[in-house]
Amino acid sequence: MKNIKVYPLAANFEDLMRLILACGSANPVEQIVWMDKERFEKHLQEEKKIRTEQQKELLNLLAHEVN
């Protein structure tokens, strides 16, 4: 079996959902481990520009359910 590394991104499922909400999608969450702060903030801005209406609706639903 290969030695596979897993990066802990959240303490629990609720924290993970809040992180996804803060980032706007799971993509930035997956990228955060290898980006510096400047690159990550730029990535967040780029992700926000391409967010679809369906993604926005789902984020609103998720926010309602988590809160």
The pLDDT value recorded for residue 9 is 85
What are the sequence ranges of the domains in the chain?
34-67
Measured in whole angstroms, the distance separating CA 63 from the mean position of its chain's CA atoms is 13
Q: If DSSP codes are grouped into helix, strand and coil, which group holds residue 37?
A: helix
Q: Which two tokens stand for residue 38?
A: 């400047």
Q: Using one digit for the tens of pLDDT, what is the confidence trace for 1-21?
A: 577 777 788 888 899 899 999
Q: Which alpha helices (DSSP H) does 1-67 contain, by range? A: 13-23, 26-31, 37-50, 53-66
What is the distance of C-alpha 23 from the center of its chain? 4
| Contact in structure between 28 and 43 (CB atoms under 8 Å) | yes
Mean pLDDT of the chain: 90
pLDDT score, position 21 = 93
